[in-house]
């Protein structure tokens, strides 16, 4: 159903938080309205930005009755028709976590059929929700100037500073120069800015003019200036992350999630572990250290560069094997052996019910499945495939590794029937 432009202004009573970073209201004609820059319980004047037959989208442009959780946005680029990167700049940080907890509980009940309250926990490394992103992506206009896209728009909000970025990202200087010939750029830094890489999206790398900044530059896989990877340390282990390979963006996320995966899994020396969607091998390396020489770890990842990083990061462990493959039901059923533990950390869309159902074929031998997810909806849909087969949730924790946005990270341990 396509949306059309709509410029009406409506007075609305705001209801619960919804997906997409806004809250729900009801238009005078009965249609649902998704209102950004609002909070539950508020009364606002909202400018409609688009409409369909069944719903409207709108921005709160005037707050008539504010919520006690409303604060002044710390970023000057936040607000209606401004930068689309943050959803909750106008929300107290503690209240942001309560809203995320509500959304998790709502999705669990609606999609997985379970009633469970979840407290969203802060993660070390940010200051009141700011200064946490080690990786930012910007658009570039035809003149080479950079900015963030506005919400659901190709228009740019031009910036020279991002408050949620790690200060080391700002020190690279990529936002203060022009990038003629580029379409988009991503800045990725290691701890303290020891390594920095700017990755460019461009139709022709040869025509890109490189400014004088302290960072490597890569365009469409071609290294224009070294380095092409950053290096970081998690729980005392060194990791290389090549340009374009997935890595948690919050500076404290890898430590928090790595520690929780080890704790929730109950990993033991001698265990056989399978790490699905392994990326650069964060969980594979930590679990390889835990299982010891008598155990084994199989890391499965489809991206060639990520496989190379995982092999490099786990090279000290002969027991760690990296398999380049897509995660499919048949692979899960037939190609991973009989593990004691399975870890999966899929992309936002989730693993899918086919893969989740295939995990159940290991119910008689596996001790636990650890599911790491950045989306409560896909997580809830996925785990239902196991819950309906008698599996249970042993532990479930939520981490606020995306402050100022609607996003949240979940780590759950799932136990087969008869082992709960």
- Is there a single domain that holds both residue 225 and residue 307? no
pLDDT 10s digits, 158-186: 999 999 999 999 999 999 999 998 999 99
Residue 2: pLDDT band by 50, 70, 90 thresholds? low
Active site includes 374? Answer: yes
Task: Count the domains in the chain.
Answer: 3
Mean pLDDT of 107-129: 97
Residue 398: pLDDT band by 50, 70, 90 thresholds? very high
Q: Which domain holds residue 219?
A: 135-231
Question: What's the pTM?
Answer: 0.95
Mean pLDDT of 222-234: 94
Residue 4: pLDDT band by 50, 70, 90 thresholds? low
Are 283 and 275 in contact, with CB atoms under 8 Å apart? yes
Residue 205 has pLDDT above 80, yes or no: no
- Is there a single domain that holds both residue 294 and residue 398? yes
pLDDT 10s digits, 91-107: 999 999 999 999 999 99
CA–CA distance, 293 with 269 (Å, rounded to integer) = 8
Residue 100 forms part of a structural domain: no
User: Scanning the structure block, which residue is given the tokens 């593990």?
Assistant: 339
| Residue 62 confidence (pLDDT) | 98
pLDDT 10s digits, 356-376: 999 999 999 999 999 999 999
- Is there a single domain that holds both residue 227 and residue 259? no
Give Cα 58 distance to the centre of its chain.
25
CATH of the domain at 8: 2.40.50.140
CA–CA distance, 29 with 32 (Å, rounded to integer) = 9
Q: Which residue in the list 23, 75, 162, 374 is annotated as catalytic?
A: 374
- Is there a single domain that holds both residue 167 and residue 204? yes
Residue 204 has pLDDT above 90, yes or no: no
| Residue 207 confidence (pLDDT) | 76
| Residue 164 confidence (pLDDT) | 98
Last residue of a domain, one of 174, 196, 231: 231
Bridge pairing between strands 216-219 and 222-225: antiparallel
Residue 1: pLDDT band by 50, 70, 90 thresholds? low
């Amino acid at each position: 159903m396509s949306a059309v432009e709509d410029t009406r202004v409506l007075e609305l009573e705001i209801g619960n938080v919804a997906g997409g970073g806004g809250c729900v209201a009801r238009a005078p004609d009965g249609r649902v309205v998704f209102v950004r820059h609002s909070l539950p319980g508020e009364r606002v004047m909202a400018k409609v930005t688009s409409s369909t037959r069944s719903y409207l989208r709108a921005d709160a442009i005037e707050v008539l009755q504010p919520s006690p959780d409303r604060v002044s946005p710390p970023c000057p680029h936040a607000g209606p028709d401004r930068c689309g990167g943050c959803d909750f700049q106008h929300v107290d940080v503690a209240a942001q976590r309560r809203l995320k907890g509500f959304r998790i509980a709502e999705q669990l009940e609606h999609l997985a059929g379970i009633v469970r309250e979840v407290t969203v926990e802060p993660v070390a490394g940010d200051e009141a929700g700011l200064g946490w992103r080690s990786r930012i992506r910007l658009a570039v206009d035809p003149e080479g100037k950079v900015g963030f896209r506005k919400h659901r728009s190709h228009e740019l909000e031009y910036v020279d500073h991002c408050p949620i970025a790690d200060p080391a990202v700002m020190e690279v200087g990529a936002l203060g120069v022009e990038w003629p010939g580029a379409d988009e750029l991503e800045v990725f830094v290691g701890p303290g800015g020891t390594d920095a890489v700017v990755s460019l999206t461009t139709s022709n790398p040869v025509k890109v003019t490189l400014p004088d900044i302290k960072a490597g530059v890569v365009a469409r896989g071609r290294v224009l200036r070294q380095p092409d990877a950053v290096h970081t340390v998690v729980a005392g282990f060194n990791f290389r992350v090549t340009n374009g390979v997935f890595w948690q963006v919050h500076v404290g996320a890898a430590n928090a999630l790595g520690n929780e995966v080890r704790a929730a899994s109950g990993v033991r020396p001698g265990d056989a572990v399978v790490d699905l969607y392994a990326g650069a091998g964060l969980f594979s390396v930590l679990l390889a250290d835990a299982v010891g020489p008598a155990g084994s770890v199989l890391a499965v990842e489809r991206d060639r560069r990520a496989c190379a990083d995982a092999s490099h990061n786990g090279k000290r462990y002969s027991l760690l094997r990296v398999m380049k493959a897509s995660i499919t039901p048949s692979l899960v059923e037939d190609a991973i052996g009989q593990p004691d533990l399975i870890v999966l950390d899929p992309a936002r869309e989730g693993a899918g019910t086919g893969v989740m159902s295939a995990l159940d074929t290991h119910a008689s031998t596996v001790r636990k499945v650890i599911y790491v997810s950045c989306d409560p909806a896909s997580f809830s849909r996925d785990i239902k495939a196991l819950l309906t087969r008698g599996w249970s949730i042993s532990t479930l924790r939520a981490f606020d590794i995306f402050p100022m946005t609607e996003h949240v990270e979940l780590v759950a341990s799932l136990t087969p029937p008869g082992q709960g």
